[in-house]
Amino acid sequence: MPASSPKRREQERGRTEELLSPSEVATVRRQLLRWGKKNFQHYPWRSETDPWRSFLAEFLLQRTRASQVAEVFVEVSTRFPTAESLARGGLAATSDVMARLGLHFRAPLLASIAASVAESGGQPPESEEELRAFTGVGMYTSAAWLSLHRGKRASIIDANVARWLSRMTGMPYNRDPRKVHWVQTLAQRMTPRRAFRAFNYAVLDFTMIVCKPREPSCAVCPVRGSCAYMRGSTAAARPGTLRRA
């Protein structure tokens, strides 16, 4: 499709029905839910019910891999089980935590968030607007925490999801999904009204295990029947052209 075609411009504005029809969206959603049930990855924060500790996990998961966070999360949430305890430790405590993930520069952000949450009673706010008012909490973290831990429907959109949807549709890949309306619209269309938590876990696991940045496992992919990349009709997000999400 030419870059300036009317169809492309509509899609860039967020119209996505021509990329995946309502029935294709429903099929993909069903296939991913089924795949996710069988392939659910057990990480310690996925069964965490405490609001602060689950929020802390989602904060730590930004810009790093789940396998790196697993060990750090268990230790940190034991040492600092509340926002108050982490706030008392101050920058020294958060620097120690973030250094272990190679993300020193995020330590002041975590110290500031812990102090704010501690001051307001120990629980993070449960609205996207208030969460994103914290410096260091973006679209991904707020959607992940609200949908996976607080029972509020939201679509998780990160670089992995943008890459997967680019492959599915043949649209160009942009690793910063905040700038791409069609990615947000399509992700929202796919997210079920009720089973959004299970769906979001399935998408996170699927984009980590099957539709990986390099060498996607198309032969065993549950949604290959709806994928433009599989049909060979796109050069979007081909392996070897990507930086890690």
Closest CA to 171 of 186, 155, 157: 186
DSSP 167-229: HHH-PPP-S-GGG-HHHHHHHHHHS-SSTHHHHHHHHHHHHHHTS-SSS--GGG-TTGGG-HH
Part in contact with ligand SF4 (CB under 6 A); list of ranges 13-21, 105-113, 133-141, 222-230: 222-230
Is residue 217 close enough to count as binding ligand SF4 by CB under 6 A?
Answer: yes
Q: Based on CB atoms, which residue is closest to ligand SF4, 19 or 131? A: 19
Is residue 69 close enough to count as binding ligand SF4 by CB under 6 A?
Answer: no
Q: How far apart are CA 208 and CA 182, in angstroms?
A: 22
Total number of residues shown for the chain: 245
Part in contact with ligand SF4 (CB under 6 A); list of ranges 72-80, 161-169, 174-182, 186-194: 161-169
Part in contact with ligand SF4 (CB under 6 A); list of ranges 11-19, 63-71, 89-97, 164-172: 164-172
Is residue 117 close enough to count as binding ligand SF4 by CB under 6 A?
Answer: no
Q: Based on CB atoms, which residue is closest to ligand SF4, 166 or 185? A: 166
Q: Which residue has the tokens 């309502």?
A: 22
Interface positions with ligand SF4 (CB under 6 A):
164, 167-168, 210-211, 216-218, 221, 223-224, 227, 229-230
